[in-house]
Amino acid sequence: MTATAPSVTLPVLADMKKRGEKIAVLTAYDASFARVLDACGVDIILVGDSLGMVIQGHGSTLPVTLEHMVYHTANVARATRRALLMADMPFMSYNSPQSALDNAGRLLQAGGAQIVKIEGGAAFVPVVEMLARHGIPVCAHLGLLPQSVHKLGGYRVQGREEGAARAMVADALAMQEAGADIMLLECVPAALGAEISATLRIPVIGIGAGPHCDAQVLVLHDILGMTAGKPAKFCHNFLQGHDSIAAAITAFVQAVKSGTYPGAGHSY
């Protein structure tokens, strides 16, 4: 895969879902890694607020500011030619439809993002509607919500109980109808990931959401064996057995595309 390949766009991703072609997603926070991810065929590069943990050394994503996100997104944008560039909207940057519009606008204008990601369910329908009305693409994020870690009581699997699973399906449909272009599911049972992926017409990205999602995302540092502490169940060190970072990233892309990642051992 080369950086001169056709650009990945939302219609391209929609067609990939229809064809059953898996979508590979990785995080990046700077130009050097973005260039490698782009050349290795990653379809979506996510500038995640996970930078608060893997770059800044915090214990959560909560200290990340909009200025941090604009800075890192702009760095990644300068080196990205093919992949779709997604940026997280950080904690408290979308607490009203107007603030979401103002802050998402900055991520697109100053940061070069092509789509923004927000955490939360049906309560954020007005936010998604506002962004969609102004032509700003949105990825909705359900399941484990790292920005709500204190409310959730830690990083734990969501949607195990039937009531919680039904509520998540309803939230997913509500966000899709509000105008979300992509859905991300984090740390949910594989069966629920499969159900939501089959129910929605928009692509569904999974992280710890089983093998039946349309796409898979991991944090770059996790696929390179740089996880601090015990890795989550869905993590996999793709650098092991390879002699370069580029080879590890290529192995991740190939594993997602072929369906060998995630395996049963990576799912809940």
Judge residue 243's burial from the number of C-beta atoms within 10 Å of its C-beta, 0-12 exposed, 13-18 middle, 19 or more buried. exposed
C-alpha 117/C-alpha 243 separation (Å) is: 33
User: Which amino acid, one-letter code, is at 235?
Assistant: C
**Phi then psi dihedrals of residue 53, to 5 deg:** -95, -50
* Number of neighbours of residue 9 by Cβ within 10 angstroms: 12
Name the residue with tokens 């050394």: 57
Q: Which residues pair with 12 in a beta bridge?
A: none
Residues 6+ apart with CB under 8 A from 181: 10, 115, 137, 138, 139, 202
User: Which amino acid, one-letter code, is at 101?
Assistant: L
Of 30, 53, 40, nearest to 242 by C-alpha is 40
Catalytic residue among 21, 129, 161, 186: 186
DSSP, collapsed to helix, strand or coil, labels residue 67 as helix
C-alpha 152/C-alpha 141 separation (Å) is: 15
Catalytic residue flag (residue 129)? no
* Number of neighbours of residue 2 by Cβ within 10 angstroms: 10
C-alpha 228/C-alpha 257 separation (Å) is: 27
Active site residues: 186
